[in-house]
């Protein structure tokens, strides 16, 4: 239900099915991204990916680069950003000069303003923004301190607002563009991660409000809402929480977990021209979890068709034995 990111405590995620993992070629592979979209879809366009140093941000950066985009990677850890930039430049030599990195704490208004200005100086334009950065940690509401609550809300809500506003003010207001925000499976609340649920709920209304206020400028604002997506970040959790995650597959109507590539493809679609008349909307990427009902027993899977176009995907070790 949550996301792995370079800008905050890692987000719990969940594994893809074994059938989807068998074809993975590993993080050192030089194989190119197998996107579902046409080559050159983002040729000449610049897209910012916050949280681009790991997990879902890393995957999306690879896909966007494979489709011709100039990618501006943003995150708090320069080493991770440099690693992803080197990966992309190595796999796509033609993109070697098109990837930039900027270290930024998305919670800091001055840093965000400076980062957007820096990206404009480097790339000359900002056509898209994927607000992928964020993060949270498992905790009951009664046990969340104000400091912990504030940190998660600032990461997930304030950072999304600041980057969206600055991209709009500094470029998109006069040139148009597309913004995609990150939600989670918040429908009906988010027990066990109430700080993130509250922040993501705020991002939902922010998305809808910005879509209305900024539509006149040709700016579309949408969101993706992932369910249980596999990402190596869950390996940092304690054994109790990892054991909880291992049992979630059977709670999904599709009886598997999502891949990073499946979430990336939804974000890339919303950033693309194909979604030109879509704004203020949310694409759920959750295998149908919110539709599951206690009155209906989910049946074991008879077939699975997971999509994974990211050869450099790194599945979580925690879930390597999950069937």
Confidence grade of residue 27 (pLDDT, cut at 50, 70, 90): low
> 8 in a domain, yes or no?
no
Q: Is the pLDDT of residue 9 over 70?
A: no
> 136 in a domain, yes or no?
yes
> 2 in a domain, yes or no?
no
pTM for this entry: 0.89
Burial degree of 143 (CB within 10 A; 0-12, 13-18, 19+)? exposed
What residues are paired with 282 via a beta bridge?
A: 223
> 5 in a domain, yes or no?
no
> 253 in a domain, yes or no?
yes
Tens digit of each residue's pLDDT (9 = 90 or more) over 75-118: 999 999 999 999 999 999 988 889 999 999 999 999 999 999 99
DSSP state of 3: -
Round to whole Å and give the CA distance between 224 and 240: 28
Token look-up 């239900």 returns 1
Residue 158 burial (CB count, 10 A): 18
> 242 in a domain, yes or no?
yes
CATH of the domain at 266: 3.40.50.720
Domain that holds residue 238: 18-319
Q: Is the pLDDT of residue 225 over 80?
A: yes
246: left (phi > 0), else alpha (psi -120 to 50), else beta? Answer: alpha
Q: Is the pLDDT of residue 34 over 60?
A: yes
> Count of domains in the chain?
1
Query: Taking residues 221-244, what's their average pLDDT?
Result: 84
State whether the Cα torsion 149-101-45-65 is positive or negative: negative
Which H or E run includes 283?
strand 282-285
Confidence grade of residue 26 (pLDDT, cut at 50, 70, 90): low
Round to whole Å and give the CA distance between 275 and 60: 17
> 95 in a domain, yes or no?
yes
55: left (phi > 0), else alpha (psi -120 to 50), else beta? Answer: left
> 6 in a domain, yes or no?
no
């Amino acid at each position: 239900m949550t996301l792995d990111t370079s800008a905050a405590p890692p987000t719990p995620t969940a594994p893809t099915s074994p059938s989807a993992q068998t074809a993975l070629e590993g993080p050192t592979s030089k194989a190119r991204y197998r996107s579902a979209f046409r080559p050159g879809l983002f040729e000449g366009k610049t897209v910012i990916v916050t949280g681009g140093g790991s997990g879902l941000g890393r995957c999306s950066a690879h896909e966007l680069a494979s489709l011709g985009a100039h990618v501006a990677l943003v995150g708090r850890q320069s080493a991770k950003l440099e690693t992803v930039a080197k990966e992309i430049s190595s796999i796509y030599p033609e993109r070697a000069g098109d990837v930039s990195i900027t270290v930024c704490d998305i919670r800091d208004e001055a840093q965000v303003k400076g980062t957007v200005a820096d990206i404009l100086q480097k790339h000359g334009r900002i056509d898209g923004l994927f607000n992928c950065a964020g993060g949270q940690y498992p905790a009951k509401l009664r046990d969340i301190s104000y400091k912990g609550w504030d940190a998660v809300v600032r990461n997930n809500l304030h950072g999304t607002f600041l980057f969206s506003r600055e991209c709009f003010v500094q470029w998109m207001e006069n040139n148009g563009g597309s913004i995609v925000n990150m939600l989670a499976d918040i429908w009906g609340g988010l027990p066990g991660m109430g700080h993130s649920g509250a922040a993501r709920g705020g991002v939902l209304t922010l998305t809808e409000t910005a879509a209305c206020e900024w539509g006149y400028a040709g700016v579309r604002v949408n969101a993706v809402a992932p369910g249980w997506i596999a990402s190596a970040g869950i390996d940092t959790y304690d054994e109790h929480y990892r054991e909880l995650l291992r049992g979630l597959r059977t709670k999904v109507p599709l009886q598997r977990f999502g891949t990073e590539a499946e979430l990336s493809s939804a974000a890339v679609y919303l950033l693309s021209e194909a979604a030109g008349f879509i704004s203020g909307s949310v694409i759920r990427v959750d295998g149908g979890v919110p539709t599951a009902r206690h009155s209906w027993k989910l049946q074991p899977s008879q077939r699975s068709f997971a999509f994974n176009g990211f050869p450099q995907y790194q599945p979580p070790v925690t879930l390597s034995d999950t069937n």
